[in-house]
Amino acid sequence: MLEEIEEEAENPYRNPALSKEGLEQFPHMLREAIVQGGEESLAEQLYLPRLWAQFEPHPKGGIRRVEPTRAAVTLARLEFNTWYIRGLCRRLLSEGEELCQVYRAWDGDGSLDECDILENKVLPIGLIYRAHRAKYHPVSRPEAFSIPSGPGCKHSIRRLSASMKALIEYEERELGGSFRKRR
């Protein structure tokens, strides 16, 4: 995860709801959370109201008042998951893996997520790796593919289980190809 963050250092994503102080402190907080904490410890550090602007862009247009508690949890979850996915992709690719599985990492608020259609799908790791932040950074591209797809995304990726790999190998060997590729 840290190696991947260093590679994005020239053009990092920064949440527009962070205050000037928040923008300055966030990179250090994120690194600390990756090294010796996690998503929860990052959110705890971000709860301070002084780290947030008074208003932020609303995902559906316009602006809304920043609620530091909600914003801290949302940003911590998005950023930690983003770098987890990026780091896991890098590791799996280095191990010669080609596929991974998208899964629901948390329930969220019950709202629909554009990634819901990808839940449990097996996808090429290289595709996910190359699509890093494609939907929202450096510019917003709603038509683009990326996991996570944005602040409200509830999905992450995982290594394929041995049984899933065996099923895919069986499909390709016995059925002449994978059903996944025909859809």
Q: pLDDT digit string (tens) for 114-163? A: 788 888 999 999 999 999 988 888 888 888 889 988 877 899 999 999 98
pLDDT score of 179 more than 60: no
Which pairing describes strands 55-57 and 63-65: parallel, antiparallel, or unpaired? antiparallel
**Overall number of domains in the chain:** 1
**pTM (two decimals):** 0.87
- AA identity, residue 23: L
Q: Give the burial class of 114: count Cβ atoms within 10 A of its Cβ; 0-12 exposed, 13-18 middle, 19 or more buried.
A: middle
Structural domain of 126 = 2-182
Whether the Cβ atoms of residue 147 and residue 157 lie closer than 8 Å to each other:
yes
pLDDT score of 66 more than 90: yes
Confidence of residue 111 (pLDDT cuts 50, 70, 90): confident
